[in-house]
Structure 1
Amino acid sequence: MSEDIRVRHITEADWGAIVAMESRAYAGLGLSEGRAALRSRADASPSTCFVLDVGAQPAGYLLALPYPAGRYPDLERAEEAVIPSPFSRNLHLHDIVVTERLRGRGLARHLLNHLTLTAGSRGYERISLIAVGHSEPFWSARGFTAHPGISPGGYGPHAVYMSKATKRADLLVPSA
């Protein structure tokens, strides 16, 4: 792939592309949320939500927001309040989507790496997610571990709550 790849924060102009990508990715699973719910999640934590550009076009996005470990967004409701990060050391990866024509090229890994670095630099100790549509093996291969005691209702019959530790940036810097 010779085009420029860039991860950046979401802007107002991105919402049409984000909603279209989300619908194509999740409508078949009965998990599409719609614009208002997606925006509410991004508004809850704009510093941990990103768009992936390939060339000059949005080709993917990622929504992550602070949530207490073991908890997750309700797909049928918009976010009502921001959970301040000092009270939650867990960052929940709610959505990660790459447009169909560019899948299989490592772009999701690019977004996930960006999130992991961002989470560590902001003091988050864990990243959680809900694997949907039989995607648990994909996430296991990226270091996420299933928590069988947590049953994520509303995310489909094969949903699995998973998490992994993140390396905090201050632990990576050698002390003087």
Structure 2
Amino acid sequence: MDHAPRVRALADADWPRVAALEAAAYAGSGLTEGQAALESRGRVSPGTCFVLDLGDRLGGYVLALPYPESAFPDLAAPERAAHRTANLHLHDLVVDERLRGRGLGARLAGHLTAVAADRGFERMSLVAVAGLEGFWRGLGYRAHRDIEVPSGYGPHALYMSTRVPVRGPSNRKKRADDGAPRP
């Protein structure tokens, strides 16, 4: 790594690199959505999408968007609009395979959790894929085996969720225009 990794907001110019990281991470799994679908998810909640910036390249990304509890994006369809909900769905988190095992995935997830708390979200959810249930359990997520996940998410995909820790009085501020957490 040329520079110390830093987490920053995802910028429009990052999308080709995000799509390349996604394609590499899910090669052969059938889970690759492609750049247009990823962008559609990022557009509905740009304030909850981040990259791991290494200076000369991206080392990873996390995409999250408001989604009702027990629900998740349809992988075959682009997002059209943000949902009004107190649940933030972590749709995708990828770390470049050359950088795995260094705590960078947990760092991205921790950054997202802090942002979720600051924006007033009460819960976070995700669909654990590719056998990563243990990773998410280690970050405080609990499995909901009673919630059926479509086969498009791959074999053994599992819906999981956690409560967002309260960080202080400012994290429950609501948006004046609609009363929903700030996306």
TM-score, length-normalised on structure 1? 0.91
Q: CA deviation at 1:3?
A: 3.0
- Match for residue 88 of structure 2 among 84, 91, 107: 91
Deviation above 4 Å: which 4+ runs of structure 1?
Answer: none
Whole-Å Cα distance in 1 between the matches of residues 97 and 21 of structure 2? 8
Distance 1:171 1:149 in 2: 34
SS across alignment from 2:162: strand
- TM-score where L is the length of structure 2: 0.88
Distance 1:75 1:103, change over 3 A: same
Partner of residue 67, structure 1: 67
Mapped pair 1:158 → 2:164: no
Equivalent position to 1:170, from 168, 171, 176: 168
Whether contact under 8 Å (2:41, 2:79) holds in the other structure is yes
* CA distance, structure 2, for counterparts of residue 135 and residue 118 of structure 1: 23
Q: How many residues align?
A: 170
Sequence identity (%): 52
1:9-53 deviation digits (Å, cap 9, x = unpaired): 111211111000001111321100011100000001000000111
Cα RMSD of the aligned pairs, angstroms, is 1.6
- 2:43 counterpart residue number: 43
1:124 touches 1:168 (CA, 8 Å); kept in 2? no
Of 120, 134, 150, the match for 2:117:
120
Does the 8 Å CA contact 1:123/1:169 hold for their aligned counterparts? no
Residue 57 (structure 1) shift: 1.9
Question: What SS is found at the alignment partner of 2:120?
Answer: coil
Unaligned 5+ segments in structure 1 are: none
The one-letter amino acid paired with 1:46 is P
**Conserved 8 A contact 1:126-1:166:** yes
> How far did residue 2 of structure 1 move?
7.6
List per-residue Cα deviations over 1:95-150 (Å, max 9, x = no partner).
00011111111111110110010000101111100001111111111111001111
In structure 1, distance between residues paired with 2:55 and 2:39:
24
Kept in 2: contact 1:119–1:168 (CA 8 A): no
CA distance in 1, matches of 2:55, 2:100: 15
**Amino acid across the alignment from 2:63:** L
> Could you tell me whether the CA contact under 8 Å between 2:129 and 2:156 is conserved in 1?
yes
2:11 paired with 1:11: yes
Contact 1:6 1:53 in 2 (8 A): yes
Structure-1 separation of matches of 2:77 and 2:91: 13
